[in-house]
Amino acid sequence: MSDATEIGDATERALPGGGAAALSPEELRGLLRWMIVARRLDRECIALQRQGELTVYPGFEGQEAAQVGSATALAANDFVWPTFRELAAAIVRGVDAVQYLQYHRGTWHGGPYDPRATRFGPINIPIATQIPHAAGYALGQKLDGTDAVTLVYFGDGATSEGDFHEAANLAGVWRLPLVLFCQNNGWAISMPTAQQTAGEIWRRAEGYGFPGVRVDGNDVLAVREATAAALARARAGDGPTLIEAMTYRIGAHSTADDPARYRAGDEVERARAGDPIARYREWLLASGAADAAFAATCEEEAEAFAMQVRAGVIATPPPPEAWMFDWVYAEPPAGWNRMRDEALG
């Protein structure tokens, strides 16, 4: 499509700062604050897992700009469908982190918070299956005549699944108010993107009849700008956009994974050199919108928040046995109730 464009450049070190003009100094500072808070929380979660307070945890270090840049672009009534690696986006959207982490504490499944109240869908593990949900939600919003937009996150690996294709195709045919946001972090567990797909993910949009955009996913301003443009396009009734944010998974797939088995150490070091937070901090301070004292305050806030979340997680008790049965049916069958009574005594 002629309107398929590239914004930013994944190999470019310097922030273009193109999206900065549209943001107030407060918004610019907010991006740094969220990224610092998110990274500190992510590291705390890994510590909590190592200490036995969380079950397997999928870290997102390196992807802060992709998540914070996109999530902060959303309007209050927009709706987000996450994968299992969007804790940064979740806290930006106001999801309570302790409630969210009930999932990783193993006290409940993917929807431990209220998805409708937070406008943040359940944490989703089966790869790409949330993308049709997002398409359906966007259809529902469109039928209701709202101007709300739906944004769905997924990874590079998800684009190999049929559900990605089916949902993207529906979004194109029905011209849905949907932003398909791919965080291409280079790896799907042990599979590098080159073994996942021979083409470029953003270019697939052309086949579905809507624009695709590749953006430097480690440039928070570029991500913010690309997402804002896609949201505006959807809000105007012009249909979906596929954004491929080029980022990097610095950590393991999850705390149960050992990436030393499949990727070379220097690759990670190269990625660390382009760290999205360090890059943005440097740019922000140089821009004059923030000073070193602000950055220090962010670190303090992040530390306090991480400690608060830690305390909340540790204080979360195991759920009562009855929870296994409480929400299976809205109208439980009589025979099923007898089984419940048998289990619960």
> Closer CB to another protein, residue 17 or residue 136?
136
Instruction: Name the catalytic one among 105, 253, 279, 310.
Output: 253
Report the SS3 class of residue 108.
Answer: coil
107 binds another protein (CB under 8 A): no
Q: Which stretch in 217-225, 263-271, 304-312, 334-342 sits in contact with another protein by CB under 8 A? A: 334-342
Burial zone of 50 (CB within 10 Å; 0-12 exposed, 13-18 middle, 19+ buried): exposed
Helix (H, G, I), strand (E, B) or coil at 338: helix
Q: What is the DSSP letter of 84?
A: S
- Tell me whether residue 30 or residue 312 sits nearer to another protein (CB atom): 312
Given the complex with another protein, which of 117 and 194 has the nearer CB atom? 117
Q: Can you tell me which of 90, 170, 234, 250 binds another protein, judged by CB under 8 A? A: 170
Q: What one-letter code names the amino acid at 21?
A: A
How many binding residues for another protein (CB under 8 A)? 45
Known active-site residue 253: yes
Is residue 133 involved in binding another protein (CB under 8 A)?
yes
Strands 191-192, 187-188: pairing kind:
antiparallel
What is the nearest approach in angstroms of another protein to the Cβ of residue 113?
9
| Farthest-apart Cα atoms in the chain, separation | 68
- 194 makes contact with another protein (CB under 8 A): no
Asked whether position 141 contacts another protein by CB under 8 A, the answer is: yes
**264, 327, 341, 344: which one contacts another protein (CB under 8 A)?**
327
Residue 312 found at the interface with another protein (CB under 8 A): no
Nearer to another protein, 262 or 327 (CB): 327
Burial of 53-64, coded b for 16+ CB within 10 Å and e otherwise, reads bbeebbbbbbbb
Q: Which has the closest alpha carbon to 181: 236, 137, 224, 124?
A: 224
249 an active-site residue? Answer: yes
Residue 123: partners with Cβ closer than 8 Å, 6 or more residues away: 82, 83, 84, 86, 100, 103, 110, 111
C-alpha closest to that of 181 among 60, 72, 39, 81: 81
Among 333, 341, 343, 344, binds another protein (CB under 8 A): 333
> Is 262 assigned a catalytic role?
yes
Footprint on this chain of another protein (rule: CB under 8 A) = 79, 81, 108-112, 114-116, 121-122, 126, 129, 131-141, 143-144, 162-163, 166-167, 169-170, 173, 323, 326-331, 333-336
Known catalytic residues?
249, 253, 262
